[in-house]
Structures are given as C-alpha cells and as structure tokens.
A = this chain, B = another copy of it.
Amino acid sequence: MKTDKQELEFVEMARFAKAMSHPIRLQILSLLSKSDCCYTGDITDELPIARSTLSQHFKELKAAGLIQGEYNPPKIKYCLQPDNWEKAKKQFDNFFESNKKSSCC
C-alpha cells in the first residue's frame, strides 16, 4: 500500500527529527559543518556541558545516522554523514513543500 510506504517514511523522518530535537545537538551539527563538515578539537570548549553528556549526544546523532566518527584515541574526528544528511534535508524540504501554507486559515 502507498500509505504504508509513507508511514515508513514518517518513521524515518521522525528519527531524524528526534536527533535534531535538542539545542546541543543542533549546535554540534552546526559546528561540524562549520569546520568543513568535520571537527577534531575539544568540543566542550564550545559547549557548557559535561563531557559524558556530550558523548551521549554524539552517540544519538550517530545512531540516527546523521554523523560518523573516526576513532584514533585519544582523539576522534567527527563528521557529518553525507548520505543521510542529504536524505534528511530532502525529507524536510519535501514535507514542508507539500504542506504549504494555504489561504484557508
């Protein structure tokens, strides 16, 4: 069914939205992009939050597929995950586009 397909799409999009539903995580994503899409510095210099908490946020962004990390202890290099990033962008674009503000209200 077509409906089921869209329902699955919504499930996936909701997962991206949830990953973006915390200010810290939006800041992380923004930081990653600003440093040419990757970041290696000490990110707690930029964010007022415990390291372990930050690590949890990274974990969630990774679980949602929005970022990826190369681990070379004691450093890690975090990057946006280009494919899913593009996918999320398209889903949101499309969602807002096909749900335009109309004149009915």
Interface set of A (CB-CB < 8 Å, partner B): 6-7, 10-11, 13-14, 17-18, 20-23, 25-27, 29-30, 32-33, 36-38, 68, 79-80, 82, 85-86, 88-89, 92-93, 95-96, 98-102, 104-105
Contact = CB atoms under 8 A, between A and B. Distances in A.
B26 A21 contact: no
Given A17-B21, A82-B101, 12 more contacts: A10-B27, A11-B23, A14-B22, A18-B21, A29-B99, A32-B99, A38-B104, A68-B105, A79-B105, A85-B96, A85-B101, A89-B96
6 contacts: A10-B30, A13-B23, A14-B23, A18-B22, A21-B21, A80-B99
Nearest to A20: B17
**How many copies are assembled?**
2
Contacts of A68: 105
A99 B85 contact: yes
